Amino acid sequence: MSFNKLLMSYDFISTGKSILRKEINCLKKLNKCIDINFHNACQLILYCTGKVITMGVGKSGHIAKKIAATFSSTGTPSFFIHPNDAGHGDLGMISSNDIIVILSNSGESRELLVLIPTLKYLKVNIISITRNTGSTIGKISKVNIYTNITQEVCIFGLAPTTSTAAMLIIGDTLAITLSKVKKFTLNKFILSHPEGTIKNTNLIKVSDVMRNIKDLPIIYSNISLYEVMKKINNYLGIVIICNKDNNVIGIITNKDIKNFLFKNINLKQISVSLVMKTNLISIGPNQPLINAINLIKLNRIKNLIVIDNYKLIGIINIYDIFT
């Protein structure tokens, strides 16, 4: 049978499923990794006052880059340093209040071992993820999480496959565990993902991002423009006028006040009812955030009132979304 005919008859699906089963069976061992060492690693990172710096060589290096990215996007500032670059000056990026997370399946990578004396001198805490605790890197680490992965699904049992998948899973588990402990909010996640998340999903609602009513500059009486000047929130640049039932009847912005400052008028004699805007643009709390963004852009406004059943419940400010 020719090679081409063999390829046409080859059962790629069965082979793929067989390899996947082997990998899943190996990765089931990772449940044992979530132990006191995992606990200690989480505590070290949680109380870290600097950055979390990941390191690795080869395939482990690629995984270390991804873990740093996951940490950063879920509330734990992190970046990757290649060990070769570290040995040629990038060690200067590391300070004693940082934490180093080293990924090395063998725990004996030469490029990492040559950095250990300097890291010890800097008194940097090291967390390592290795195949076993008996390795050199595992022994010098403050905390060692060992994967106990001894078999790769590579046909030769050599190419990093299952071991790197294990490192990735442990790194993700660390990052997401910490984000839960830190009470990392959806709003913070959105702010660090201004392109992909906001533009491509309807899952994020107005209520997830808006400022709640307790944080808003609200006036409930028909006071003078002079009193408004003392109450206006300069960051938001707005004051909201409501009736006793919390229904919005108007808003006054910094710009509205400035228009009167240049006139020879006693501001104490000007009522807010003469100045406030009543043609308000608003949105409901359950609307997708993308709808709010479109309204802000279309009407060229900085603040969007959030109303539920005709009552004020919050506001979305342009800087809460785009900064």
CA 111, distance to chain mean position in Å, is 30
Token duo for residue 223: 């006071």
Q: Are 153 and 19 in contact (CB under 8 A)?
A: yes
pLDDT of residue 308: 92
End-to-end, the C-alpha distance of the chain in Å comes to 63
pLDDT of residue 195: 60
**Hey, which CATH number is domain 11-184, 3.40.50.150, 3.30.70.260, 3.90.420.10, 3.40.50.10490?**
3.40.50.10490
pLDDT of residue 116: 93
Block mean pLDDT (10 aa), the chain, length 323: 66 90 90 94 96 96 96 94 93 94 95 94 95 91 92 88 95 96 78 56 78 83 77 75 86 80 72 82 90 89 89 86 63
pLDDT of residue 301: 87
- Map tokens 């913070």 to a residue: 188
Locate the domains of the chain by residue range. 11-184, 196-322
Note the helical H segments in the chain. 3-9, 12-27, 36-46, 59-73, 83-86, 110-113, 116-121, 136-140, 162-181, 186-191, 196-200, 206-209, 225-231, 254-261, 289-299, 318-322
Short-list 76, 79, 282, 99, CA closest to 188: 76
Token duo for residue 58: 């080869």
Which CATH class for the 196-322 domain?
Answer: alpha beta
Q: CA-to-CA distance for 134 and 67, rounded, in angstroms?
A: 24
pLDDT of residue 201: 54
Q: CA-to-CA distance for 103 and 57, rounded, in angstroms?
A: 8
Residue 224 gets which letter from DSSP?
B
